Amino acid sequence: MKVLLIEDHFLVRMSQKIVLNELYRGATISEAENFEDALSYVRVSPFDLILLDIDIPGGKGRTMIDRIRQIQPDVIILMCSAADEQTHALEYITAGAKGYLSKSAEKSEVIAAITTVVKNNRYLSQAVQEHLLEAVSTGKRSMRQLKATNKLSEREKEVMHMLIKGKWIKEIASDLNLRTNTVSTFKARIFQKLGVSSVIELAKKVQE
């Protein structure tokens, strides 16, 4: 096992080396404190695994992954960062990293991350997985809402939102400069198109 640690903090590198030596006896571990030095290592020696700090001096975000892969296309890259993983993890995974590990992670999570990516599987923490699932769920809800409200005209949508906010027919008529019977007609059409019989049901329908 040949590993390259691209990390400018000594204590972080030491903790990474301790875990790697426990996992892979006899592993050859090289260290680089800036990105240009790291590329020099990559150019002269093949590696099985690279642990890459996203804030390494000389590096520029996700383009670092591209530059490494231009030299060693199949090397496994595990991102390590103190930055918010829920904000950055997916960006680096889609750029080609096999995993994203927070520097604040417990030893057990570090082990899980390394052993997962070494098997050529992707690694995301439980927190990031839950965040992504919630984003997917929110997206699905948004699509359902969009499909439901697409049945309505722009004016009907406007009236619908005002009804959900709790405004009365007269208030809506005044705000939109319409007659009250016109607003009542819009309300009836909205209820019919969305299959509801009250404002409460309407609000639930839109929030589903």
The H helix count followed by the E strand count for the chain is: 10, 5
pLDDT one digit per residue (tens) for the chain, 208 residues = 999 999 999 999 999 999 999 999 989 999 999 999 999 999 999 999 999 998 899 998 889 999 999 999 999 999 988 766 556 677 788 788 888 888 888 889 899 999 999 998 888 776 666 655 555 455 555 555 555 567 788 888 889 888 888 888 898 999 899 999 999 999 998 888 888 888 887 877 776 5
- Whether the CA torsion 196, 200, 206, 208 is positive or negative: it is negative
- Terminal Cα-to-Cα distance of the chain (whole angstroms): 51
pLDDT at 87: 62
Positions of E strands within 95-144: 99-102
Helix (H, G, I), strand (E, B) or coil at 78: strand
Collect contacts of 21-28 with beta carbons under 8 A, ≥24 apart: 23/111, 23/114, 23/115, 26/1, 27/1, 27/2, 27/3, 28/1, 28/2, 28/3
pLDDT at 133: 54
CATH topology of domain 137-207: Arc Repressor Mutant, subunit A (1.10.10)
Task: Go through 51-84 and write b for each residue having 16 or more CB atoms within 10 A of its CB, e for each that does not.
Answer: bbbbebeebeebebbeebeeebeebbbbbbbeee
Architecture of domain 2-125: 3-Layer(aba) Sandwich (3.40)
Domain boundary assignment for the chain:
2-125, 137-207
Burial (CB < 10 A; 0-12, 13-18, 19+), residue 157, is: middle
Report CA 142 to chain centroid distance, whole Å: 17
pLDDT at 138: 55
pLDDT at 37: 96
Element (H, E) at 91: helix 85-95
